[in-house]
Structure 1
């Protein structure tokens, strides 16, 4: 339990820093919006570019591994949107934000240290595979859902291919064959910008929480947290251990990856569309707090706690 607390403590520390800086009026309201714009337009695309360009992808794809994880993700995403629509009367991009928050995992601060501590070097390969495609897949799906409801096919295509996240994904894939020829100063620049993504996003989230508080109430954030921390890893566990045949450390990595709290990118996405921000910020904070206990339970159940 103490190890889990130490893993997520920096998350709360940066969120609290943003919250206190706004509460004491050291930072203005517009600072949070500017930070989220920077992260969404520059930092996250650079992070995706670096991840995809340098990812070590095996020649034989572990299809059972992919199916187990992303089936759970798809079911949770669909259920979150259904609950948000039918129970909480959310519409448009707000629905997408709810689905995104329930399905996308906080991998950088929680997933990576927790999984590597649990499985060591044996978990590095399955973890790296999920890291390489998890955010690109979820960001692309969220963008398609948000842009595709009202836009014509031509307009949707133009928006997609001018979208910062999609540009980062495309450039990262194109750079793979020549990644070794790109000069060191170029990678230094990319590393500096990408490294700012997580801290800036969390401070921006803290500023947003000061503004919105629990304006959306506890109902939807509790539902999203339950889907993310309970149902998602449960579906992945059943598929990875009962349906598909894979080594225990592969199935364990998939389950723990799914058991991570709601990811910060749901908040960034909400800020980008200026809808569902209160829902996303509350779900991220609540699920991160609850994950102190749920991740410890999953670690124990998998025999690595």
Structure 2
């Protein structure tokens, strides 16, 4: 337990620092959107590309990883749809709860994998990103289009185009292509991308902390509690069952379960606001997930015996 906390405390300390910096106005509010944009479009893609490009994919059970990760999303999607009548919320609120059930915060996921699982775990997590990002984006947009209060009905062509242009997905796909060709990273470009990628985790985590909204957390009610229990407890439990049934090795299982138990992504708020979801509830979900995740992620790590 001490070893796990020693590995994770720096990660969560960066989140707390981001929150404090935002509250104290140490940096102007205009800094944070730029930091998020830099992380999303530049530094995180560099990290994902360089990692997948040089990973030893031949030793990984790719089919098992894909089955466990996508199977978890499928089960969580079915469960939240089954629970809809019992939740007694508006359609707009349900679209936000739907996003909260399936969207992971990739920034925290990669940082946790790097801290606890090393290079091997980071590679598996990068594969999870490649699988999950397009899947949850499509499902979330469809949910907001169906239940959100809006006039926007995205066509399949534009929806697939938006997913295909996602920088995190593109980085993973390009990294996999370079990996499979056996060319490897060029002498100058490789080190450049690795150095660039090292800044992704600290800046991304600071931005996560800056986005925490304690006022939104105070507005949280029963549905947000239900969402938190589902995403941070039930989802990793489902992933663990898949991993056990598939006989996945410990590192792969740990990476998948930890990824499944991540808090909801902050990008869910943008989609909820643009497509008629319940944006205040979405802000509550993101904040409560993040705060509770600081406790549940170490517990998951202990249960998985990752250190």
Shift of 1:131: 2.1
Matched with 1:185 is 188
State the distance in 2 between where 1:27 and 1:13 align: 18
Shift of 1:286: 1.0
After TM superposition, the structure 1 stretch with the greater mean CA deviation from structure 2, 142-151 or 254-263, is: 254-263
* Count of aligned positions: 289
Matched with 2:124 is 130
TM-score by length of 1: 0.75
Residue 266 of structure 1 aligns to a residue whose secondary structure is coil
Gaps of 5+ in 1: 117-123
What are the within-5 Å matches in structure 2 for residues 87-102 of structure 1?
Answer: 87-89=88-90, 90-91=92-93, 94-95=96-97, 97-101=99-103
Any conservation in 2 of the 1:8–1:288 contact (CA below 8 Å)? no
Matched with 1:209 is 212
Residue 112 of structure 2 corresponds to residue 110 of structure 1: yes
Residues 111 and 181 from structure 1, CA distance in 2 versus in 1: closer, same or farther, beyond 3 angstroms?
closer
Residue 174 of structure 2 corresponds to residue 175 of structure 1: no
Any conservation in 1 of the 2:8–2:116 contact (CA below 8 Å)? no
| Pairing partner for 1:288 from 278, 294, 299 | 294
Residues 292 and 237 from structure 1, CA distance in 2 versus in 1: closer, same or farther, beyond 3 angstroms?
closer
State the distance in 2 between where 1:269 and 1:192 align: 29
Residues 167 and 253 from structure 1, CA distance in 2 versus in 1: closer, same or farther, beyond 3 angstroms?
closer
CA-to-aligned-CA distance 1:232-252 (integer Å, 9 cap, x gap): 3333443443x44x37xx157
Matched with 1:55 is 55
State the distance in 1 between where 2:240 and 2:190 align: 37
Shift of 1:26: 0.8
Residues 68 and 56 from structure 1, CA distance in 2 versus in 1: closer, same or farther, beyond 3 angstroms?
same
Displaced runs of 4+ in structure 1, greater than 6 A?
A: 102-105
Gaps of 5+ in 2: 146-152, 274-278
Matched with 2:11 is 11
State the distance in 2 between where 1:181 and 1:237 align: 33
State the distance in 1 between where 2:21 and 2:31 align: 10
Residue 233 of structure 2 corresponds to residue 230 of structure 1: yes
